[in-house]
Structure formats: structure tokens, C-alpha cells
Amino acid sequence: MYNEALEDAIAKTKRNIGRFGKRFPHVSNDGVYELNDNTDWTNGFWSGMLWLSYEHTKDEAFRNAALDTVESFRDRLDNRLHLDHHDIGFLYSLSSKAKWMIERDEQAKRMTIEAADVLMKRWRAEGRYLQAWGAKGDADNGGRIIVDCMMNLPLLYWAFEKTGNEEYKKVAIQHADKSRRFLIRGDDSSYHTFYFNPADGEAIRGGTAQGYMDGSTWTRGQAWAIYGFALSYRYTGNQLYLETAKRTAVYFIEHLPEDQVAYWDFDAPVTAETKRDSSASAIVACGLLEIIGHLESSDPLLVYFQDAVHRTMRSLIERYSTIGQADAQGLLEHGSYSVRGGASPDDFMIWGDYYYMEALMRLQNGHKGYWYE
Ligand code: GLY
């Protein structure tokens, strides 16, 4: 089943090279991907899909298209275009860093370290966090972190390992510790965002941007926490991060509906109209596979997590994937970008497609993704 799904995903990715050209898919409307010129936080995912497909097939068409994306990321970095946010890890881990990992290309390595330096500029020493959005001092966002940033930290840990400069790692650890303390609640659910006083880092309150309400658990945010803390554990060996990844994963699994694919927010009232976010479940499948790799065979959660991965992947393949629709542009239907904001509440999301493919690669041939090496 996983093999058939992976082959289908790769065939669709190949067809999309011709469709997308040098542009990048973001989210879809009525089954057609919106394309842009590498201007959004999502552009790395297309690059990552091309690199995964290349590694699986060794087909040069994938490599050539992936190299084009890396060129585009070079230009984006040189001109500091659309990099005024914290999602630098999402962008450069799957593009230039993947190129370094696969080809040991020194220029790609230097480019990725340069990208890490751009992320470091968002460190606010007074408040001791990485500012997610907006310029320093921004009235709404100057003191704000968001849980998604846990997936940007691997870029900093990696830059430390490549350069020996401890600042990258210190920043990543301080941000992960702050996220663990303030974004993760006592019952292992999570806030999407948290506000601090930017002058001294004093905690103010939790909130949301894409969730149902300020105190709710936006399922994709919980997914970023699960995979992000597992990766912080991978890089640091800090057991507290693994513990947090495990606990947030149990919360996610215990709150799934019968078909094992998450609604967009665990606190949104469930009616026949409530939207899913298949992308959250695809991210969690990867996060669980990452966690499983760190568990002792005697760990009571091992079989529980393995079952959860297979139940989720089976449901994604059988009920949410576009297997059987040869012309479909996307791989996973029923993702939700922002139900609250009315943006693509039930469509293809390029990150949903990416994590679905990464999970299939992990299951099929033990690939570990491009978040760490
Ligand atoms: N990182 C942005 C999102 O998950 O929508």
C-alpha cells in the first residue's frame, strides 16, 4: 500500500514539473494550485518534494527541477526578498540544505549557513525569543512567538554543527525552552502563539492566529510542536524535549476523530461542515516516525505510536489522497490553511503533500527527511 502511494506521489510530482515550470505551488483553489515566484513561507516544500523524488528514482528531471528551485532561493537570499519572518528553516532546510545533504555541494552549505544568519537576526535578546512575524518593535507582533517556529530551529542547530559557532545553538535552545514552558499547556495541548513584553521577556498571554479561539488547540500547531520537539531532542539529546514530543503526540492521537485524520482545531465544534486539516495529520505521521526512532523497544508508547502512524497513513491514503485521480495536482485533499481566516479551508496544501511524501519515504525506505543530518 505504501509503495503504491509513493509511486503515485512521485508520478504526480513529475507531471507537476511541467505544469509549474519555475514557479512554486502554495495552496489550491478548486483543485488548481496557486503559483508564486518564491515569495511565501511554503516554497521549500516543492523543493523538498523534488529532492525526495530524485533520491527515490535517480531521475535527472527531478534533480534539474530541484536545482532550479535552489537557484531561486539563492536569489531570494541575495536580495533579502520575503525573508522578514521566522520561516527561514522551512525554506532553506528543504532546498539548499537538502542539496548539501545529497550532493555535498559546498556552495549549498554556505548558502544554508547564510540563511541561518538571517533567522538569527530575529533573536530578541531582551525578551529571549525569536520573533515570529513583523519588524522589531512592531506593536502587534514584536513580543510574539508561534509554535510553528519549532520547525525552524533545526536550521540553527545544524548551523552550529557546521560552523562550531555556539550562538546558533544557544538561541535555538533558549527558544525551545521558552516554547516548551509557555506554548505547551499543563494538559499537553498547545497555544498557537504567545505574547511577551519585548522589553524584558515577561510573559503576557497565550493566543491564536489560525486556531478556533485563543485558548484552543489548533491541530497544525500541535503537529509542529510534536515534530519540532522531537527534532530538538535529536540535535541536543535533552530528554525534556523528547518527553514533550511524546506527550503532545499522545494528546493529538487521543483527540482524533474516528477516521484518524484531524479536524482543523481540536476545540472547534464538530458538525457535518467542520473542516479537516489532513496536512496536520501528515506532519504528525512524520513526527511520530521521528519519535519512534528514539524509543527503547521496552517503551510502552512504542506500539501505540506505531499503530497510530499506520492508522493515520491508511486513512490518508484511502480517504484523503488523490490516488486514482491521475490528473490531480495535489496529493492530499482536505487540508486547511486558515479556516478562521477563510483561506483555503478545504484544499491541497503543498506542505501537506510534502509531509505525506516524507512519511511514505520514511516508511518505504527509511529516509529521514532533510531536517537533520
Ligand atoms: N506555518 C504556517 C502554517 O502552518 O500555516
Q: What are the φ and ψ backbone dihedral angles of 319, each rounded to 5 degrees?
A: -115, -20
pTM attached to this predicted model: 0.98
Tell how far the Cα of 176 is from the centroid of ligand 1, in angstroms: 18
The one catalytic residue in 8, 40, 87, 353 is: 87
Bin 203: left if φ > 0, else alpha if -120 < ψ < 50, else beta: beta
Q: How far apart are CA 335 and CA 176, in angstroms?
A: 27
Which atom of ligand 1 lies at the shortest distance from residue 279's CA? 4
Annotated binding-site ranges for substrate: 87, 148, 206, 208, 220, 224, 338
- 87 catalytic? Reply is yes
What is the per-residue pLDDT for 40?
A: 98
Please tell me the predicted confidence (pLDDT) of residue 254: 98
What is the model's pLDDT at position 130? 98
State the pLDDT at residue 190: 98
pLDDT of residue 316: 98
Q: What is the largest CA-CA distance in the chain?
A: 55
pLDDT for the residue numbered 339? 96
Instruction: Determine the pLDDT at residue 44.
Output: 98
Say if residues 114 and 91 touch (Cβ distance below 8 Å): no
Q: Ligand 1 atom closest to Cα of 224?
A: 4
CATH number corresponding to 2-365: 1.50.10.10
Ligand 1, atom 2: closest residue by C-alpha: 148
Ligand 1 centroid – CA 148 distance (Å): 6
Nearest Cα residue to 124 out of 116, 136, 139: 136
Question: Can you list the positions of beta strands (E) in the chain?
Answer: 24-29, 32-36, 123-124, 129-130, 144-146, 193-196, 203-207
109 lines ligand 1 (CB under 6 A): no
> Cell numbers of 338, please?
486558515
Residues annotated in a binding site: 87, 148, 206, 208, 220, 224, 338
Q: For the chain, which ranges sit under pLDDT 50?
A: none
Q: Active-site residue 148, yes or no?
A: yes
Task: Please tell me what DSSP assigns to residue 86.
Answer: S
Q: Ligand 1: which of 130, 148, 152 to mutate, judged by most atoms within 8 Å of the beta carbon?
A: 148
Determine whether the shortest distance from the Cβ of 347 to ligand 1 is under 6 A.
no
Q: Which of 148, 188, 347, 353 is catalytic?
A: 148
Question: 356, 50 in Cβ contact below 8 A?
Answer: no
**From the CA of 110, how far away is ligand 1's center (Å)?**
27
Domain ranges in the chain? 2-365
**Which atom of ligand 1 is nearest the CA belonging to 351?**
4
Ramachandran area for residue 268 (φ above 0: left; ψ -120 to 50: alpha; else beta): beta
Q: By the 8 A CB rule, do 7 and 317 touch?
A: no
Instruction: Dump pLDDT digits (tens) for 6-60.
Output: 999 999 999 999 999 999 999 999 999 999 999 999 999 999 999 999 999 999 9
Strand 123-124 versus strand 129-130 pairing type? antiparallel
